[in-house]
Chains A and B, each alone.
Chain A
Amino acid sequence: MTRPPDERPERPERTERPERPERSERDRGDRRGRSRPPQRVRVTAPRTAARPVAGSLSPRREIDEQTGVGEVYMRSLTRSQLRLGVSVLAVVALALGSLPLVFSVEPRLASMRVLSVPVPWLLVGAGIYPLLLVAAWWHVRAAERAERDFAEIVERR
């Protein structure tokens, strides 16, 4: 597709330029008689050059225009969320799913007591709920972090 000319990304230093002389003036005032301040040499060019294709679409446009790059952005979000969800489920399923097996292999657990409650009753009746709650909160935080990362990419320009 053709890109409207106003979409061309602006170089950041252009907007900062008015400030720079002032700062240099002040610096010079401090260090009169020394060589040129190093700020003159500093350029933001490397960052600009690191951008994939100079002047390409912003991530937001890539997603909105349904380009291949946009789809990569979306896939990276859904993949990371799915991976997160599946790993949380795997941990919980392992904990939950192993208990019946343990009980069937070792029925004598029932005669063991903690606080005068048989161990299986304590584990299934009370012990699992905190685990579920911790897993839930952990997932909420991680999923929100993944969304924040995604939002940062989309809003970068």
Chain B
Amino acid sequence: MSPGSTWPAVVAVVLVCLGTVGLGAVGLRLARTTSDFYVASRAVTPRWNASAIGGEYLSAASFLGVAGLVLAFGVDMLWYPVGYTAGYLVLLVLVAAPLRRSGAYTLPDFAEIRLRSRAVRRIAAVLVVGIGWLYLLPQFEGAGLALHTVTGAPNWAGSVVVAVVVMANVVAGGMRSITIVQAFQFWLKLTAIAVPVLLLAVAWRADGAPDPASAGQPTVRRETTVRLPDPVTVRVEVPVDVVVDGTVDGRAVRGPLHLAPGAVQVAGGTTITLPAGAPVPHLDDVSGGSGPDWATPFVGSTARDHPLYRIYSLLLALLFGTMGLPHVLVRFYTNPDGRAARRTTAVVIGLLGTFYLFPPFYGAMGRLYAPDLLLTGRTDSVVLLLPGRMLGEPWGQIASVLVTAGAFAAFLSTSSGLTVSVAGVLSQDLLRGRLRTSVSGFRLGAVLAVVVPGLLSLVNVRTGLADTVGLAFAIAASTFCPLLVLGIWWRRLTVAGAVSGLLVGGGLAGGAVLVTVVGGSRSGLGGALLAQPAAWSVPAAFAVMVLVSLQTRGSLPPSVGRMMVRLHAPERLHLDAAGLPPDRRERVTGRHTPDDAAGDP
């Protein structure tokens, strides 16, 4: 990226951060009670709420990761956004209204309300914190990548910026402010991804509309120099003459080098210059094959074996994991009632479906205008780089500023939502009673929620943004999905069943995630099973939960019948439901009591 385009991008980052904090400050004036902090006093209208859910949900993985995956692996990666969206359909039909009616603030709340068990609550709390941290990690990594891409700043700088802004905002404002911020962020993100697509499409047509799926290797348009910071295996498909400064196959090279087809080992710190029009060698673990291969299902992603299994397992994780994401669920408690929760979810599906039409276009254009990313492996930055490469001034700068702003909106909104829910759980379940007020407990929780993944993100782990997020989905699908689905629809779920199901599901999926993240991805069926554990860990968790519940059928939690009334009967009927004393019922049915409006005396 040319130095001239750096400053506008920096201004965009600063503006988004200031806007987030500023809107948070406006909300702070309204947030007074503990109830305000957690769930905006349940007074958020469905339309605001749908935008806020969309704003919260569209993370670094959606804004940058999907395009990066499409560039690297082709058409099969389009299943990621499909799964991200379809997860809300599963949430809608199985969970949305009953969960809202349960009246719980958080997932551990639901576990305790439904099963009357502190043990299940504690396990759920640990899982929320684990999933939240795993999901925060790629947000911070993405921020580092983005700031590095647009300004050349070191990778940790972006992580620190996002972590500090999120922490300040959450500690100061809580969730009411964040509802406003999140709704704003969704529309910012949609604008930021859609408007540049229009500009890029015009530039692409003006360029003669070259076909990204045409035969042949992707080629660089002009002389391009890339630096490979880490030792990597590079695959050469077509013989190419390059200029190298560094070490190739253990041999120090400084000058022209002919690369024959095959794999070469490149040492860290090596610089490779590709002449204009040269076919691009690519990293061993992305597919840089010919256009038709890239565009054909199951061929473009051959760098990852067992693609059919991977797609089905991924879909399972995304479809059933969405309902178990802590930052998504907390948003449902702000709906006034179960009916509004359903309608909100349907609107969310429309909003997400619109957004996800755009990222694949960046991936396809990346094959034509940024194929050098296949060599550096930084495919996640394709959205940020394309405007500068394809558009002349001033449009290139305007579009660059937009996508940078959108990317930071993505990091900030998702991190804020995750931080709020992780902080809520930390303060309710780990810090409860140790601090004078619950508000200060929430603030300490927020600090903890950010600092741990912030530190982890400084450790360099090379997994794609969307991949890491996929692992968080897999754990959520293997733990909270069975708990929620069985808890809502099956009267015979017992505490022992829930506990063993959570432990087995969490252990299996979490273990697979740990092996993949720490040990790196492996080849073969075992590698595929570990990288995409949902296909076997979700059924296992369901089976264990059901079987153990049937074995312990003598110990059903009390008043399951009333619980079913509470979860499924429309609120306006005011039927006698479990655990709802009259004062609490007022709040759960979402009526605005004078207390809520007035705040603390």
Contacts and interface: CB of A to CB of B under 8 A. Distances in A.
B75 A110 contact: yes
Given A63-B575, A125-B360, A132-B353, A89 B93 contact: yes
A111 interface: yes
B573 A66 contact: no
B298 A151 contact: no
A100 interface: yes
A144 to B, nearest CB: 6
A100 B565 contact: no
Contact of A74 (B93, B295, B489, B569): B569
A147 B357 contact: no
A140 B308 contact: no
A57 interface: no
Interface string B553-586: 0000001011011001110110110000000000
A121 to B, nearest CB: 6
B298 A107 contact: yes
A133 B576 contact: no
Say which size band chain B's interface belongs to. 35 or more
A30 interface: no
Interface stretch (A4-12, A32-40, A43-51, A77-85): A77-85
A147 B339 contact: yes
Given A110-B297, A154-B575, A100 B308 contact: yes
A123 to B, nearest CB: 9
A107 B85 CA distance: 25
A112 B600 CA distance: 65
B92 A136 contact: yes
A111 B291 CA distance: 11
Interface string B181-209: 00000000000000000000000000000
Contacts of A104: 297-298, 308
A70 B350 CA distance: 38
Interface stretch (B234-242, B340-348, B426-434): B340-348
Given A74-B561, A118-B295, A92 B572 contact: no
Contacts of A151: 570, 572-573
B357 A92 contact: no
A137 B85 CA distance: 14
Interface in A123-157: 124-126, 128-130, 132-133, 135-137, 139-140, 143-144, 147, 150-151, 154-155
Contacts of B211: 116
Contacts of A130: 353
Contacts of B308: 100-101, 104
Nearest to B86: A132
Q: Which of A71, A92, A133, A135 has the most CB of B within 10 A?
A: A133
A84 B93 contact: yes
Given A92-B86, A110-B297, A133-B353, A147 B360 contact: no
Contacts of B97: 143
A124 B75 contact: yes
Contacts of A143: 93, 97, 342
Nearest to B357: A126
B60 interface: no
A107 B296 contact: yes
Interface string B288-308: 000010011111000000001
Interface of A: 60, 63-64, 66, 70-71, 74, 77-78, 81-82, 84-86, 88-89, 92, 96-97, 100-101, 103-104, 107, 109-111, 116, 118, 120-121, 124-126, 128-130, 132-133, 135-137, 139-140, 143-144, 147, 150-151, 154-155
Q: Please give me the 3 A-B residue pairs with the lowest Cβ-Cβ distance, nearest first.
A: A129-B353, A85-B93, A103-B297
